[in-house]
């Protein structure tokens, strides 16, 4: 039988009741100390009918922050806050993974311990500005990580993975996308190292593979996913041969038996901002035999088409799920969708976060 978005799926160790997943969405609504709160728990509980919820990017380290009011997963307070979320989701019958994150150079000294420079594979300043919480500021030139610091970075991901398990998540997703630390190591536009973590493609992929194996040792590979953005240019990212780069790393990950690889497709909006066309889950399917979650501007028809054609096993929805807490039911009924309010995407409080109405309302 040809699957559609409403067909259950065995995703590694978890059985998802449908293939309509919540994409990880930064919403900047953690409480002081970057601690998740009751409001976050209610937001995710409302969306528990998704086959899998992938919670927002969550820092594994004090050096991993680059935005205000984003959550962490490295203190007991973080664990307790996230436990409210997982209990709410599980109480509503849902499944939830946590996305493990380190922003690398996409930060500012205002977010760093003791006002230090952000860290990165190489001392290359990104173009653009960062919102500091009070206004915009230019990115600064990051400090290149020393070779002997890299085991400590891996250890931060391991600690975050263990903390996520303590918080009651069903698994974790490694954030290797969107111009953040692991993506910076992988792509040759941001990695100019001359040690074993730079230069050749094999060396640039080394940190991704080591972090993934280390996190899999905590959770079991079948409860670990990984997200890439092969065609993306967000956060001033470039690679000279992205199909080769991401094809290689997916081929190396394939034998590990991960729960999934999460790969956005390139949309017209991405191309308008300079992204390369034609590098997404469809083009990378040949390099990865495991489950692929596709993402990027899908609707009911295009999502079902991706499943029929076999280059996706599930689809993660971002903005539509943000504005429609009961998105699976709405898609099933082909009911009208609420329209999202972009002015509230990164605001504070419940507006645009927990107040979108369900169909019954």
Domains annotated on the chain, with CATH: 9-344 (3.20.20.70)
Which letter does DSSP use for residue 62 in this model?
Answer: G
Q: What is the pLDDT of residues 94-120, one digit of tens each?
A: 999 999 999 999 999 999 999 999 999
What is the spatial distance between Cα 47 and Cα 275, in angstroms, rounded to a whole number?
Answer: 31
Query: Which residue positions in the chain have pLDDT lower than 70?
Result: 273, 361
Closest among 126, 236, 123 to 178, alpha carbons compared? 236
pLDDT of residue 233: 84
Catalytic residue (choose from 180, 197, 260, 353): 180
Collapsing DSSP to helix, strand or coil, 274 comes out as coil
CA distance 252 to 262: 15
Q: Give SS3 for 350.
A: coil
Please give the backbone phi and psi of residue 225, each rounded to the nearest 5 degrees, phi first: -115, 170
pTM: 0.97
Half-sphere exposure of 193 (CA within 13 A, CB side): 26
Q: CA 275, 277, 281, 284 torsion: positive or negative?
A: negative
Look at the block and give the residue holding tokens 């953690």: 30
Active site residue 139: no
Element (H, E) at 317: strand 314-317
At 361 the pLDDT is 66
At 255 the pLDDT is: 98
Q: Which residues contact 283 (CB under 8 A, 6 or more apart)?
A: 243
Who's near 293: CB < 8 A, 6+ residues apart?
Answer: 21, 225, 260, 261, 262, 263, 312, 313, 314, 315, 316
Q: How far apart are CA 315 and CA 295, in angstroms?
A: 6
Which sign, positive or negative, has the C-alpha torsion 43, 44, 49, 51?
A: positive
pLDDT score, position 341: 97
How confident is the model at residue 268, as a pLDDT?
A: 76
pLDDT of residue 270: 75
Residues in the chain: 361
Do residues 323 and 305 make contact, with C-beta atoms less than 8 angstroms apart? no
What's the pLDDT score for residue 67? 96
Rounded to whole angstroms, the Cα distance separating 314 from 332 reads 15
């Amino acid at each position: 039988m040809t699957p559609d978005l409403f067909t259950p799926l065995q995703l590694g160790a978890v059985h998802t009741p449908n293939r309509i997943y919540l994409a990880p969405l930064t919403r900047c609504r953690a409480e002081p100390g970057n601690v998740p709160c009751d409001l976050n728990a209610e937001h995710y509980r409302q969306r528990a009918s998704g086959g899998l919820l992938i919670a927002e990017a969550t820092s594994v380290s004090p050096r991993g922050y680059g935005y205000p009011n984003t959550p962490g997963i490295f203190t007991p307070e973080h664990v307790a806050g996230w436990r409210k979320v997982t209990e709410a989701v599980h109480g509503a019958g849902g499944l939830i993974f946590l996305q493990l994150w380190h922003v690398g150079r996409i930060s500012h000294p205002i977010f760093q311990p003791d006002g230090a420079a952000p860290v990165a594979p190489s001392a290359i300043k990104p173009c653009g500005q960062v919102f500091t919480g009070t206004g915009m500021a230019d990115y600064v030139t990051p400090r290149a990580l020393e070779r002997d610091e890299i085991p400590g970075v891996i250890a931060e991901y391991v600690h975050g993975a263990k903390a996520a398990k303590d918080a009651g998540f069903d698994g974790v997703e490694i954030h290797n996308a969107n111009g953040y630390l692991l993506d910076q190591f992988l792509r040759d536009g941001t990695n100019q190292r001359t040690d074993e973590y730079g230069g050749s493609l094999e060396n640039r992929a080394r940190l991704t593979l080591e972090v993934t194996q280390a996190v899999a040792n905590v959770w079991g590979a079948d409860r670990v996913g990984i997200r890439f953005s092969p065609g993306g240019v967000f956060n001033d990212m470039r690679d000279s041969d992205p199909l080769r780069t991401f094809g290689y790393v997916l081929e190396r990950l394939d034998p590990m038996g991960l729960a999934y690889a999460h790969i956005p497709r390139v949309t017209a909006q991405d191309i308008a901002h300079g992204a390369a066309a034609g590098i997404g889950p469809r083009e990378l399917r040949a390099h990865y035999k495991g489950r692929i979650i596709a993402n990027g501007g899908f609707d009911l028809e295009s999502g079902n088409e991706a499943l029929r054609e076999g280059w996706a096993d599930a689809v993660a929805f971002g903005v539509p799920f943000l504005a429609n807490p009961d998105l699976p039911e709405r898609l099933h009924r082909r009911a009208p969708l609420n329209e999202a309010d972009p002015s509230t995407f990164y605001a504070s409080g419940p507006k645009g976060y927990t107040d979108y109405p369900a169909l019954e309302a």
